[in-house]
Chain A
Amino acid sequence: MINDMNINLLLLVLMTIATMWTVMGRSLLKATIGLAVTSAVLTILMFRLNSPLAAVFELSVCTGLITVVFVSTISLTKPLTHKEIIERSKARHKRFGYLPFVMILAGVALYFLKIPNDFAGMADKYIAAQAAAPDPRRVIWDVRQLDLFGQIILMIAGALGVVILFVEGKDKDER
């Protein structure tokens, strides 16, 4: 149990480092890779926390698809020249240089913050649902059917949103 928690702790620290690299990195492409690493570490954590179905989704969609979307967006926008990057990096360091201090401050504040342990009762009503459907697939199909409809509507809305964005652009170019 202790070893398990130590490995989880190591993964959490790794994820925090990847997050800081994502936020503080100079290049957008490196930031995207940092985000993919964060996502990959989160996937390992999900596997370790008995959530294989969510982990597979996270790995294929968040680590794969979202990285591809980000890289495509970055490649379709004009990258900065080397001179511009150097010019902007000073201002960037000024703005992003405070992140480690803010994170350390937040960590210290959280450590000394006393969080009450009174959430035990809140979970009672969900235990029945869990007992009725212990398999995530059964939960999705039997308990959370409304979520499925919502997801389908959301996906259609997203696809339509992107289509509208690009159709308008095409019309404008033709004009």
Chain B
Amino acid sequence: MNVEAWQGFLTFGFFVALLSVAGFYCLLVTRSLIRAIIGLELLIKAATLLVIAAGYFTGMTALTQSLVVTIIVIEVVIVVVAGGIALRVFRHNDDLDIRRLNNLKG
């Protein structure tokens, strides 16, 4: 990777880091289960962007695209199952507050 490509990759890396900070912050601060899933989504988006940028700047877009397809499939399954769990929690607690999840412990 030459210096120009490395600088380009670092620019993308900088924004990926900001996206990750926002995702982690959302996960740490929120009290809503759905918003926690949104935070997780943001983290996955940051990872996706990093993989795509790495593929572009190293010239290996075919390999990274196949990886991203896998990431997207995993992302969808996580969101669907997490959404189902959120619905069940809402029916159980009548609320989506994650602090009330203590009620579920066995």
Judge whether B104 is part of the interface by a CB distance below 8 angstroms.
no
Q: Are A61 and B76 in contact (CB under 8 A)?
A: yes
Show 15 A/B contacts (Cβ-Cβ < 8 Å), sorted by A: A5-B8, A9-B11, A20-B22, A22-B26, A22-B38, A23-B42, A45-B49, A49-B52, A53-B69, A54-B69, A58-B72, A77-B87, A103-B18, A162-B80, A165-B88
Interface residues of B in 24-56 (CB under 8 A from A): 25-26, 29-30, 32, 34-35, 37-39, 41-42, 45, 48-49, 52-53, 55-56
Q: Is the CB of A106 within 8 A of B52?
A: no
Specify the main secondary structure of chain B where it touches its partner: helix
Question: Are the C-beta atoms of B65 and A106 separated by less than 8 Å?
Answer: no
How many chain A residues touch the partner (CB < 8 A)?
80
The answer to whether A49 and B29 have CB atoms under 8 Å apart is no
Min distance, Cβ B72 to any Cβ of chain A, angstroms? 5
Residues of A at the B interface (CB closer than 8 Å) are 5, 8-9, 12-13, 15-16, 19-20, 22-23, 28, 31-32, 35, 38-39, 42, 45-46, 49-51, 53-54, 57-58, 61-62, 65-66, 69-70, 72-74, 76-78, 95-96, 98-99, 102-103, 106-107, 110-111, 115, 117, 119-120, 123, 126-127, 129-130, 133-136, 138-140, 143-144, 147, 150-151, 154-155, 157-158, 161-162, 165-166, 168-169
Main SS at interface, chain A: helix
Decide if B63 is an interface residue (CB 8 Å cutoff): yes
Q: For the complex, what is the distance from the CA of A130 to the CA of B55, rounded to whole Å?
A: 10
